[in-house]
């Protein structure tokens, strides 16, 4: 099984598990996802799972960095940097991005694990 096939299978399996756990009927089950992949010249990998059955977009940015990258005695930095991303930048004020997304009816958050830091918004 190729990497893309395994990933597609995992996505579909997860979707089926969520549907089954929620008591969804066949009418509630979304159509099979159309998976598109690409890589940009800078190495950024893009995975697009297209589902046009709902007028919603979910964006996730995954960084391959987490607590595994911290040195003994200096832990918590991955989680700290996750929170610092919401503090703004030269062009975006503190929590301004959050306010814009929420004003449009969206939601967003982030989390850090052993080997990833993920930012998402819907």
**Any idea which residues carry the catalytic annotation?**
82
Q: Is 105 left (phi over 0), alpha (psi -120 to 50) or beta?
A: left
* Extended strands (E) in 12-116: 34-39, 45-50, 59-63, 108-112
Which of these, 122, 120, 115, lies nearest to 86 by C-alpha position? 120
């Amino acid at each position: 099984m190729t990497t893309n096939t395994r990933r597609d299978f995992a996505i579909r399996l997860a979707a089926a598990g969520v549907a089954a756990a929620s008591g969804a009927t066949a009418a509630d089950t979304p159509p099979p996802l159309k998976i598109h992949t690409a890589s940009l010249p800078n190495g950024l990998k893009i995975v697009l799972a297209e589902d046009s059955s709902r007028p919603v977009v979910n964006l996730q940015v995954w960084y391959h960095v987490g607590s595994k990258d911290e040195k003994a005695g200096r832990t918590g930095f991955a989680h700290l940097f996750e929170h610092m991303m919401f503090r703004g930048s030269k062009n975006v004020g503190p929590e301004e991005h959050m306010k814009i997304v929420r004003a449009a009816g969206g939601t967003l958050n982030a989390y850090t694990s052993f080997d990833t830091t993920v930012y998402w918004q819907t």
